[in-house]
Amino acid sequence: RARAPSMSDSELLSKKVAQLTKVIALLNTRNEDAEAKLAQVKTAAEHELSGAIADAKAKIVAAIEKGTKQKAAEKDMQDRLKALEKEYETEKKKGLKAIETAKEQEAKRADERIAAATKQLDVLRGELEARCTELERVTGAMRCSGERD
């Protein structure tokens, strides 16, 4: 630019310094505004991040608790199953023992019935033999009497 004839170098320099001071003040103000805005954005982001972290932690804790409850339920079911299996085996052994005892008792009763029937048969056989002997004696005596006549 062309210089104004009435201004001296020091006035011109003063004017330039004043202009630069205004520019620096404006830049400082803009910088402060930008820093304030950045601080607000940073605070909002931190707050949002803290909320997200808290929510994630809550979900993780809930999932762990759910998993723990499921594991406890599974263990309880396994324990119940083992108890039922043990009870089944015990009842099975009792049932098999009862069947075996019943078989033994029935076999004993059958043996007793057979022995009683055999004894009765022997008695009847003895009576039959006695009757046969008596019949032979009577028939033999009748033959002898018939021959004498």
Q: Which two tokens stand for residue 79?
A: 């324990």
Mean pLDDT of 114-128: 95
Coil, helix or strand at residue 149: coil
12 and 3 in contact (C-beta within 8 Å)?
Answer: yes
- Local confidence band at 4 (pLDDT 50, 70, 90 cut-offs): low
- Local confidence band at 53 (pLDDT 50, 70, 90 cut-offs): very high
**Looking at the whole model, is its pTM more than 0.75?**
no
